[in-house]
Amino acid sequence: MILAEDVLVIGYGNPLRGDDGAGWKAAELLAEDPRLAGAVVLARHQLTPELADDVSRASLVVLVDASQEPGEPGTVSSYPLSLDPASGPVFSHHVDPARLLQLAIDLFGQAPPAVQVSIRVADVGPGTELSPTVDAAMPTLVGTVIDVINEHCHADA
């Protein structure tokens, strides 16, 4: 079991648009996973400025979403996020990951390390089911998130 205290996982996407709901589904699976005891796991339709407070209080943030980048559907990737101080003010209820981190600093004085974990989609048409390809890759997506958190927790030990 990972001691994941102060870790924030946000799975986001639209669960009514097929594979775009993969982040949401991953959040549901991760919230039930005993290996993440102590972590806060949220499922959201999108990243919003209100999340900056939660982000500022975390020791690590892992953002999980669906990606429409070119590539093989079901492929999982992860990369560290960086701040974007030049991104300007927020004029919307939606923010991108880099702007969310910058908001945490601007509003609350700090932001933790953050990692984006994404899965490439096959179908984002209307519907509540994941495509068979993305559904079959959900264990890999969940495993990647757990590996990221485990690596962070062991680096802090």
**Domain for residue 52, yes or no?**
yes
**Domain for residue 93, yes or no?**
yes
pLDDT along the chain (157 residues), means of 10: 77 96 97 92 95 96 95 96 65 79 94 97 95 98 96 77
Please tell me the predicted confidence (pLDDT) of residue 91: 53
Please tell me the predicted confidence (pLDDT) of residue 154: 79
Round to whole Å and give the CA distance between 45 and 50: 13
Round to whole Å and give the CA distance between 59 and 57: 7
Give the domain extent around 43: 7-156
**How is residue 66 written in tokens?**
């669906």
**Domain for residue 97, yes or no?**
yes
**Domain for residue 2, yes or no?**
no
**Domain for residue 151, yes or no?**
yes
**Domain for residue 1, yes or no?**
no
Nearest CA among 54, 41, 116, 120 for reference residue 81: 116
With contact defined as beta carbons under 8 Å apart, do 121 and 67 qualify?
A: yes
Domain holding 14: CATH number? 3.40.50.1450
What total number of domains does the chain contain? Answer: 1
